Structure 1
Amino acid sequence: MTRKNRLDLIHYSKIVLAVGALAAIITACGGRNTAITTEKPAETTKVEVQTMKPEEVPAALLDGKYAKVYAYFSDEFKQQLSEADFVSMAPDLLKDIHSFKQASVMQHNGGDQRSWISDSGTMGLTTVFDEKGAILGLQAKALTSFPETDNRLTKIKYDWPLSGEWYIVWGGTNVLVNYHYEHESQRYAYDIVQSKDGYSYKGDPLKNESYYAFGLPVLAPADGTVVSIVNDIRDNEPVGVMNEKVPAGNEVVIDHGGEYSVLAHLKKGSVKVKVGDKVSSGEEIGLLGNSGNSSEAHLHYQVSDGAELFKSRSININWKDGIAPVQGEIITGE
């Protein structure tokens, strides 16, 4: 399966980040705290632990404090990238950059992910910290923008397809906050979870039932006609094992009159509509699940210009109430 046919949610327990030209790979979170420690005078044994705040990383890098930043890398990260390589290559990555502007903050499932865009708009920077202050990942990435399609919104105004509070894991108009953005067929897609106290689950993270989103109603975002359904794909368990053979898993596709809602990763057997059914905005069409190429219970939602997801182009959604959801935001549906 090619990358363009991929639908998934990067789970923090299995996050993978390439560090620009360094090509360093993060394969796990939860590394030991590698923060610098300094001992007080000999007469005491108390140790003061110094930490670097996530928001301090861009300035530290621009000031050339590469070794200081590296000191906070997790043990796993250091195994993938030596200090010598990081210190020698970082200047090239940051060449001609004078400042960074924050693009998103996502504190979720034990990780603290921050993204920034350079003053030129041509490069993005992302860091992931664990709860103890260790840097699990640092990514420098060239940015490409598509302003013409960014500004071309759907003709229809859409309702939020879920009730209650929901957390945006991927969404927005650059690849830092929305990994779908690179791919025309999914450019303006959203991956949405439910989060409580910073976590999308409680209990055993390998069981679907532990995830707050699993089994909750998914709603039609506008009036339309159902043109396609899939309802027989099992939900992935243990959580984290994904089904790449059927990327969207169980799904419902609704024709709103030339614009098509794609609601993917639904729970097996939960789809309540049939092809040809007329649906109204707010009508329940199925339950949220973890089917297809999905690493935990979440809703993949997008609007396309055709009914076949990977043969169509994603359209930037014109939401009711003027919202413009981006990664790290909480959206409340009625």
Structure 2
Amino acid sequence: MMKKRNNVNWMHYSKMGLALGALTVVLAACGGNAAQPSPTTVETTTPPATTEQPTTDSDKLTAEDIPTALLDGKYKEVYDQFSDDFKKQISEKDFITSAETSIKQVKTFNEAADMEINDADVRSWVSDSGDLGLNVTMDKQGTILGLQAKALTPAPATDKVTTKNEYAFPFKGDWFVFWGGNNALINYHYEYESQRYAYDFIQRKDGHSYSGDPLKNESYYAFGQPLYAPADGKVVSVLSNIADNEPVGKMNPEVPAGNEVVIAHANGEYSVIGHMKKGSALVKVGDMVKTGDQLGLVGNSGNSSEAHLHYQVSDGADLFKSKAIQIKWKDGSEPVQGETVTAK
């Protein structure tokens, strides 16, 4: 039995726009109505004055250096690269104390995922024991915008179970996995049995999920993209009258999944396609669909901070009363956060 650890959120107050900040903190909760964990509250104090020379670019730690630096006790070097806003949330002394406590039994960190999105570099690692995750977010200048140590609780029994049916991706072209994988560090849904193996997909071009005004839905590459049936089945639920959230960042937790289509497949499996664009559903309850039939368009409805697709397969039609099942994709892939999948 693995020892349970407490989460240590050394805060994640970044100003990368919805681009990443909101995705990291909020999009994780998309489609969910379970209470979300809140960051650990820390008392902040003014760091002691220093007469040391400022860090030069050549001295800066890279994102991939962070785990080793922490394990080597280079807490000050790490803290020195915190953004000014980050430093206002936690003093150097408190950071060092919490870091020492949280990783004192860790021997190594193994990379779990990495992604570059909207001018930020996001890296994640899992400890050798598997019960602690580490995540860092840096900007292009090497400034640390967020750092988190997160307790992980693996679910090996359900991790070994996959859907009986094979599923096609419910879109065409290249899509980026923002949340996906078998731990809560790289897939926020994992902590909740009803959404454990859900995916959140966005579109990314030149490292960005949008172009233009970040407050407008139309600026996001995913918004308005067509969605398709991932397997043959019968439509058992359709919701299409929920307004898309705008300005982007405003969310609607009253209807967490937003506009959605639920399809019943063979073997008691159900596809849940969420956050669709208002009025875009092309199917109705009772319709029989074939793999590849268009269902509607990607939107930004419900508890969503940015246009994206929430997709999962469950053992029942009700998203919150059913259990998610790990998807067996037709192409044999096992995509995780930071990867791009291509569907024809």
| Counterpart for residue 76 of structure 1 | 85
1:253-292 aligned at under 5 Å gives the runs: 253-257=262-266, 258-292=268-302
| Counterpart for residue 326 of structure 1 | 336
1:110-129 aligned at under 5 Å gives the runs: 110-129=119-138
Deviations 1:105-133 (A, max 9, x none): 01111221100011111111000111221
Q: Residues 152 and 316 of structure 1 are in contact (CA less than 8 Å); yes or no, is this contact kept in structure 2?
A: yes
What letter matches 1:264 in structure 2?
A: G
Tell me the CA shift for residue 256 of structure 1: 0.3
Give the SS at the match of 1:290: coil
Tell me the CA shift for residue 19 of structure 1: 12
- TM-score normalised over the length of structure 1: 0.88
Q: Does 1:305 align with 2:322?
A: no
Q: Residues 215 and 288 of structure 1 are in contact (CA less than 8 Å); yes or no, is this contact kept in structure 2?
A: yes
Tell me the CA shift for residue 23 of structure 1: 4.1
Runs of 5+ consecutive residues of structure 1 not aligned to the other structure: 1-9, 26-35, 39-46
| Counterpart for residue 143 of structure 2 | 134
| Counterpart for residue 155 of structure 1 | 164
What letter matches 1:286 in structure 2?
A: G
Change (3 A) 1:84 1:195: same
Q: Does 1:249 align with 2:258?
A: yes
Q: Residues 19 and 117 of structure 2 are in contact (CA less than 8 Å); yes or no, is this contact kept in structure 1?
A: no
Give the SS at the match of 2:320: helix
Runs of 5+ consecutive residues of structure 2 not aligned to the other structure: 1-17, 27-35, 44-52
What letter matches 2:144 in structure 1?
A: I
Tell me the CA shift for residue 24 of structure 1: 5.5
- Of the three residues 189, 193, 215, the one matched with 2:224 is 215
Deviations 1:81-102 (A, max 9, x none): 1001111221111111111100
| Counterpart for residue 30 of structure 1 | none
Q: Does 1:190 align with 2:199?
A: yes
Question: Matched residues in 2 for 1:24 and 1:222: separation?
Answer: 48
Q: Does 1:37 align with 2:54?
A: yes
What letter matches 2:291 in structure 1?
A: S
| Counterpart for residue 32 of structure 1 | none
Give the SS at the match of 2:331: helix
Q: Residues 249 and 264 of structure 1 are in contact (CA less than 8 Å); yes or no, is this contact kept in structure 2?
A: yes
Deviations 1:246-272 (A, max 9, x none): 001100000002100000000000000
Question: Matched residues in 2 for 1:117 and 1:23: separation?
Answer: 23
| Counterpart for residue 20 of structure 2 | 12
What letter matches 1:37 in structure 2?
A: P
Change (3 A) 1:111 1:56: same
Q: Does 1:316 align with 2:305?
A: no
Q: Does 1:86 align with 2:95?
A: yes
| Counterpart for residue 166 of structure 1 | 175
| Counterpart for residue 102 of structure 1 | 111
Deviations 1:206-233 (A, max 9, x none): 0000011110100100000000000000
Tell me the CA shift for residue 11 of structure 1: 4.9
Alpha-carbon RMSD: 2.0
Question: Matched residues in 2 for 1:19 and 1:198: separation?
Answer: 29
Tell me the CA shift for residue 48 of structure 1: 5.9
Q: Residues 122 and 137 of structure 2 are in contact (CA less than 8 Å); yes or no, is this contact kept in structure 1?
A: yes
What letter matches 1:216 in structure 2?
A: Q
Q: Residues 19 and 209 of structure 2 are in contact (CA less than 8 Å); yes or no, is this contact kept in structure 1?
A: no
Q: Residues 37 and 50 of structure 1 are in contact (CA less than 8 Å); yes or no, is this contact kept in structure 2?
A: no
The number of aligned residues is: 307
Question: Matched residues in 1 for 2:41 and 2:340: separation?
Answer: 32
Question: Matched residues in 1 for 2:284 and 2:105: separation?
Answer: 56
Question: Matched residues in 2 for 1:220 and 1:316: separation?
Answer: 18
Question: Matched residues in 2 for 1:215 and 1:24: separation?
Answer: 41
Tell me the CA shift for residue 56 of structure 1: 0.2
Tell me the CA shift for residue 50 of structure 1: 3.3
Deviations 1:57-90 (A, max 9, x none): 0000000000110000011110111001111221
Give the SS at the match of 1:321: coil
Give the SS at the match of 1:310: coil
Tell me the CA shift for residue 301 of structure 1: 0.1
Deviations 1:275-308 (A, max 9, x none): 0000000110000000000001000000000000
- Of the three residues 70, 74, 88, the one matched with 1:65 is 74
Tell me the CA shift for residue 52 of structure 1: 1.3
